[in-house]
Amino acid sequence: MALRAVVFDLDYTLAVVTRDRSTLLAEASESAGIPVGFSREEYGAAHQRAHSHETRGPIFADLLDGPEEGEALATAYRSAIADSLVPIEGAESLIAELETDYRVGLLTNGPVVAQRDKLRTLGWEELFDAAVVTGELEEGKPHPGAFEAILEALEVAPEEAVYVGDSVETDVAGAAEIGMVVVQVLYPGGPDPDPRADAHLHRNELVRGLPDLVAQID
């Protein structure tokens, strides 16, 4: 069956932060005046356990003293990320090129406000044919329901779509399980190439190499 769509992950695939997340969390802690007694790894684990949230507030609240501190830290952390968030070079031109032949979508894990704020920061609110944030759903990646949501929005079947993402656990495993063609994005310090991916591309080669790769798969 011919390919009709390309779906992207957001974080570490199409956009990156210029400072590491632990630094950003420390800056948010200082800005909000809320001491953080948990690690970035503990936060990451809590983040993965929770998907259906408007903000990161409930996630932080589970690690702090309560909801008020959680929301205050969530606001400060969102601001720190916005100040540090940049697209990979050429991302918008890549999307535009792909959209001449395919429907192009975005599927990103995270709370609604946090992820939609990233799209606003990047100026990408209207860039994609469809964009799904898993905070709007009952389950996040790698649950099949998350991938089904973006496929339904793009009106394509799994075998008609390519998924492009970096995470082995959430992107590669989930997209492969549902039957999508998978392109794993590689970068220094990121996950090793996973055999479940149909192809692998380094992030700095994504803009130049993905259109030809998708055409070859098609």
Share of the chain above pLDDT 70, in %: 88
pTM: 0.86
Which range among 17-21, 57-61, 135-139, 150-154 has the greatest average pLDDT?
150-154
Shared domain check, 118 and 194:
yes
pLDDT at position 98: 98
8 A C-beta contact, residue 102 and residue 67: no
Which has more pLDDT, 33 or 177? 177
Shared domain check, 10 and 25:
no
Shared domain check, 154 and 174:
yes
CATH number at residue 142: 3.40.50.1000
Shared domain check, 208 and 113:
yes
Chosen domain end from 30, 52, 84: 84
Chosen domain end from 84, 99, 125: 84
Taking each helix axis from N to C terminus, what angle separates 67-84 and 21-32, rounded to the nearest 10 degrees? 130
Shared domain check, 203 and 148:
yes
Q: How does the average pLDDT of the chain come out, rounded? A: 89
Q: What is the mean pLDDT of residues 15-40?
A: 80
Secondary element (H or E) of residue 58: helix 57-63
Shared domain check, 174 and 111:
yes
pLDDT at position 193: 97
Shared domain check, 146 and 116:
yes
Length of the chain: 218
Which has more pLDDT, 67 or 6? 6
Which has more pLDDT, 49 or 155? 155
Q: How far apart are CA 140 and CA 147, in angstroms?
A: 9
pLDDT at position 161: 98
Shared domain check, 135 and 33:
no
User: In the predicted model, is pLDDT for residue 15 greater than 90?
Assistant: yes
pLDDT at position 103: 98
* Structural domain harbouring 70: 21-84
Shared domain check, 94 and 142:
yes
Instruction: Please give the tally of structural domains in the chain.
Output: 2
pLDDT tens digits, 117-151: 999 999 999 999 999 999 889 889 999 999 999 99
